[in-house]
A and B are shown apart, each in its own frame.
Chain A
Amino acid sequence: MNFLIALFCGLLFGAGLTVAQMVDPNKVLNFLDLAGTWDASLAFVMGGALVVYSLTYQFIIKKMKTPLCEKSFSLPTQKIVDKRLIIGSSLFGLGWGITGICPGPAIANLSSGNIKVVGFILAMTVGIVVAKKLSNNN
């Protein structure tokens, strides 16, 4: 059951990214290009997602002791804002600004069969593995 739920949520996520056109790198780059051909659309994507998520979190999730189909909630426990968080997020933003692609849209674009999408995902995977290895050594 939990696997079917995850599959359905993945479908919904991929559908959402496509409807929002966040799968189009040009759309993302134009959103980030405040001084040029600015396209504010993605602010509406984030706005829509945040309204739904924050309201349901405040009024439904917070009142629940356990999720419906699982024994407990798996929420992040880290609370401290550290250098890793800021440097890591900034490096991610640098890559996002170069390409206009973040992890979700990269994977959602796979079915187009574009070789550059495959290349991006491979490079991204190497990045994830290297970051994980480095943090294990610390």
Chain B
Amino acid sequence: MTEFTPYSALLGGILLGLSGFLLLFLNGRIAGITGIVANLFFNFSKKLTWQIYFLIGLVLGPLVVMPFGFNLPTDIDLGWPAIIIGGFLVGFGSRMGSGCTSGHGICGMGRFSPRSIIATISFMSAGIVTVFVIRHLLGV
């Protein structure tokens, strides 16, 4: 069980939307995390890119809101096989599908891109089915 937290969820969502808007408004870029991470590994110029700065911000961002009582989870309740298989699928699938929750789910959907709408429906449905199978059919 987790508590239903509509207000903090809405506030957090607004911050995400604002971040995506500012990156597009000022730098003309899409705030898609998969694309930003992928760039790190296929950046052969050896120069610091905007993507590296964004990722540094992403790592430090949680520390900024900790004084206000918002914390990172202290324990991840997943076994190693789930971490490794799940992590691989998240990276492989989001790269193959050109985006994840941020790029397709927020930026693409926000621009009413048909590709992103289809992608979001695909990963949402796959996620819901997966959780149903794991929790209710396999009973893990």
**CB interface residues, B 45-68, toward A, < 8 Å:** 48, 50-51, 53-66, 68
Tell me the nearest residue of chain A to B73, going by C-beta.
A24
Q: Which secondary structure characterizes the binding site on chain A?
A: helix
Within the complex, what minimum Cβ distance (angstroms) separates A17 from chain B? 7
Question: A89–B21 contact, CB under 8 A?
Answer: no
Q: How far is the CB of B101 from chain A (nearest CB, A)?
A: 5
Cβ proximity bits B1-21 to A, threshold 8 Å, 1 near / 0 not: 111111011111111111111
Q: Is the CB of A103 within 8 A of B90?
A: yes
Number of A interface residues, CB 8 Å?
117
Number of chain B residues close to chain A: CB under 8 A: 114
Q: How far is B18's CA from A10's CA once the two chains are assembled, in angstroms?
A: 11
B18 and A12: CB pair below 8 A? yes
Inter-chain contact B4/A10, CB cutoff 8 Å:
no
Partner of B90, one of A34, A92, A134: A92
- B14–A88 contact, CB under 8 A? no
Please measure, in the bound complex, the distance between the C-alpha atom of A123 and the C-alpha atom of B15, giving whole angstroms. Answer: 28
Majority SS at the chain B contact face: helix
Contact with B along A99-128 (1 / 0, CB 8 A): 111111011111110101101111111111
Assuming the A-B contacts A45-B9, A128-B38, are A7 and B87 also in contact, with contact meaning beta carbons closer than 8 angstroms in the complex? no
Task: Judge whether A128 and B91 touch: CB under 8 Å.
Answer: yes
Chain B residues lying within 8 Å of A27, measured Cβ to Cβ, are: 2
Q: Total number of A-B contacts with CB less than 8 angstroms? A: 492
Complex contact B12–A16 (CB within 8 A): yes
Judging by beta carbons under 8 Å apart, are A97 and B73 in contact?
Answer: no
Give Cα A61 to B89, complex, Å.
34
Check A127–B91 contact: CB distance below 8 A. Answer: yes
Q: Are B71 and A18 in contact (CB under 8 A)?
A: yes
- The reply to whether B98 and A85 form a contact with Cβ atoms under 8 Å apart is yes
Contact of A32 among B38, B53, B127 (CB under 8 A): B127
Q: How far is the CA of A134 from the CA of B95 in the complex (A)?
A: 11
Tell whether A97 pairs with B127 under 8 Å between CB atoms, given A12-B61, A45-B9: yes
**Residues of chain A lying within 8 A (CB to CB) of residue B74:** 112, 114
Show 16 residue pairs from A and B whose CB-CB distance is below 8 angstroms, ordered by the A residue.
Answer: A3-B50, A3-B53, A6-B27, A11-B61, A45-B16, A49-B110, A57-B21, A64-B25, A84-B96, A85-B98, A92-B92, A94-B126, A98-B89, A103-B33, A119-B80, A123-B88
Using CB atoms and an 8 Å cutoff, list the residues of chain B in contact with chain A.
Answer: 1-6, 8-31, 33-34, 37-38, 41-42, 48, 50-51, 53-66, 68, 70-78, 80, 82-102, 104-115, 118-120, 122-132, 134-136
| 8 tightest Cβ-Cβ pairs between the two chains A and B | A14-B61, A10-B57, A20-B12, A48-B13, A97-B130, A127-B91, A93-B126, A88-B97
